[in-house]
A and B are shown apart, each in its own frame.
Chain A
Amino acid sequence: EPEVTQTPSHQVTQMGQEVILRCVPISNHLYFYWYRQILGQKVEFLVSFYNNEISEKSEIFDDRFSVERPDGSNFTLKIRSTKLEDSAMYFCASSGDGYQPQHFGDGTRLSIL
């Protein structure tokens, strides 16, 4: 069964540095999402992406965050000037259309030191 893959599984970065989290959605999917889960808390929506542009973003997704689909297969989340509070599990998800369930990757654990 096709799946969403995320790399790396764990990323450790110094505060203030930039980090890029990578995702390869399921190949025929058109809708892409990033979610965040701080340890012990609920999963929170960050951003949705369709047709090469952001469809919706939450208040968490401030101007330090950006997303890109550079080559038609990868979907990346970049965080500039990282803060301690960015430490969390980041999940990428994709769906074939807006009516289909979202399939999640295994997540990237981001640790900011």
Chain B
Amino acid sequence: DAGITQSPRHKVTETGTPVTLRCHQTENHRYMYWYRQDPGHGLRLIHYSYGVKDTDKGEVSDGYSVSRSKTEDFLLTLESATSSQTSVYFCAISKTSGGSDTGELFFGEGSRLTVL
């Protein structure tokens, strides 16, 4: 358990509305990630962060933005939600050893988003 909590766990929204998902961790891990999980696609990386205010794009970043103003929180924002963004979103951290990323991911329990 890496002390990761996601909120909200479930959300239904309408097309065109903004949505923010929050990932909170309690162990001060440097690396944080947002993935989406869809049937037939496995997990795909949306954005990741390697420190406060340091973020970068992943494989499927279009339509998403992120922010990390403090170590413990990593926010994922859908500026204008679309039906194609209906998915389960997972936050994850990777632990470090000697300052280096170990490559082992620890996941939150997911946030299920439905865009009508």
Are the chains A and B members of one assembly? Answer: no
Interface residue ranges, B against A (CB under 8 Å): none
